[in-house]
Structure 1
Amino acid sequence: MKEYLLVTGVGLLAQGFFSLRMLHQWIKTERAKKIISPSLFWVFSICGAYLLMLYGWLRNDFAIILGQFISYYIYLWNLKANGIWQKCVLPLRLVLLLTPPAAAVSLALGGADIAQTLFKNPDIPLPLLVFGCISQALFTLRFVYQWWYSSRHHVSVLPLGFWGISLTGSVLICLYGVLRLDIVLILGQALGLAAYARNIMIGLKSARSSSKRS
């Protein structure tokens, strides 16, 4: 019971950071009447990703781990684009940079036992694991798209397409959480749905206003 509460606590704390980033971004966007990409969004993102990777490991859930590994370095790129990375002390930067590969090395050194635990978890049927991985991959593609778009425009932004992918991926992950009876995933995604939908509405309205002015 204590172990369950500890693991769940780590997951809820991670989702708390993700919820904070959405709430902060939502408030900034509502005030500006256009989609905003605040620096704190990326600070909260890296904190949440770090903890959620730990949660995925403790839950033996490869779908969660995969989703965070893909987006982790995109968060760091955005921290650099916002001038935050340069202000971090060297030890912190090294920890943030080296933790994912260190975890990958740990998995490799674990050999077949670790692979068996992650990929053949008796609590997660293979079709459900595949569905979870696809859902996480789609959800993570939003940050790949965000990075690609921001790189082309040489500025860290959250474009309209980011929110469309977010909404679709969130619905799928929420369904995965229901099938897994995972309260952390359900709460985390459910809270984000309103923010994703609202950003899409504000983005479309802002785009229409810009078209009329031009």
Structure 2
Amino acid sequence: MMYVIGFLAQAFFSARILFQWILSEKAKKVMSPSIFWILSILGAYLLVIYGWLRDDFSILLGQFISYYIYIWNLYEKGVWKKVHVVLQAIMLLTPVVALIFVFNNADEFIATFLRNDKVPLWLLVFGSTGQVIFTLRFVYQWIYSARRKESILPIGFWVISLIGSSVIISYGVFRLDPVLILGQAVGFVAYLRNIMIARNDYKYRLNESK
């Protein structure tokens, strides 16, 4: 059941990349479709559950950083306003409730996630570093988009994705985690292709401006 949840989460993440990639190929420029962010929220929910069952701090850390950025992009797309207010409240409060639970059970959390015999300290640091790098792409995307007041997936987003994904795949190999390995491998080609599409679009616009 644990792996079913994990693979389902990665299926949502893979689907978001697939939809984004197809739409970008058709438009001949990098797109930031609403479905990308909707699937991101769904995948994040499930991956947090998987990370908790797996006693994997790095997975939890990665999802926590990017969660509210997903919501911000949905707001910019006008999708968030269409979500029922009760569901909005649940989505907004879920990480807060999780943090309160962690603080109230700090000793147990530290013993389970940060002093896990199955994950030595060096591997925990390595995996967490990969998740932080991978998640920082959304922080970069948020800053870039906020300045332009629209949801955009810039070329830097995809470059950071490649770097972070490489580290996470290595971490997944060390942990013998098929969910992480397969999930990251699927997106690798799409990251490269989006970089190519972004560069071609930039060259096209540059030529048009001359």
TM-score interval, normalised by the smaller of the two chains: over 0.9
Secondary structure, counterpart of 2:78 in structure 1: coil
Distance 2:106 2:70 in 1: 29
Deviation at 1:208, TM superposition (A): 1.1
Deviation at 1:31, TM superposition (A): 0.4
Q: Percent identity?
A: 55
Q: Which amino acid aligns with 1:174?
A: I
Q: Name the residue aligned to 2:161.
A: 166
Q: Which amino acid aligns with 2:125?
A: V
Q: Name the residue aligned to 1:45.
A: 40
Q: Name the residue aligned to 2:92.
A: 97
Distance 1:18 1:30 in 2: 18
* Residues 96-150 of structure 1, C-alpha deviations (whole Å, 9 max, x = no match): 0011111111111113122110101110010000001110000001000000000
* Residues 171-207 of structure 1, C-alpha deviations (whole Å, 9 max, x = no match): 1111110111000000000000000000001111111
Matched, 1:205 2:205: no
Q: Which amino acid aligns with 1:129?
A: L
Secondary structure, counterpart of 1:152 in structure 2: helix
Runs of 4+ with >2 A deviation: none
Q: Name the residue aligned to 1:157.
A: 152
Q: Name the residue aligned to 1:179.
A: 174
Q: Name the residue aligned to 1:80.
A: 75
Structure 2: stretches of 5+ with no match in the other structure: none
Q: Name the residue aligned to 2:15.
A: 20
* Equivalent of residue 9 in structure 1, options 1, 4, 10: 4
Matched, 1:194 2:170: no
Q: Name the residue aligned to 1:59.
A: 54
Distance 1:159 1:114 in 2: 36
Distance 2:28 2:128 in 1: 35
Secondary structure, counterpart of 1:205 in structure 2: helix
How many residues align? The count is 209
Structure 1: stretches of 5+ with no match in the other structure: 1-5
Distance 1:134 1:38 in 2: 28
* Equivalent of residue 30 in structure 2, options 35, 38, 45: 35
Deviation at 1:210, TM superposition (A): 1.2
Secondary structure, counterpart of 2:152 in structure 1: coil
Secondary structure, counterpart of 2:105 in structure 1: helix
C-alpha RMSD over aligned residues: 0.6
Distance 1:113 1:97 in 2: 25
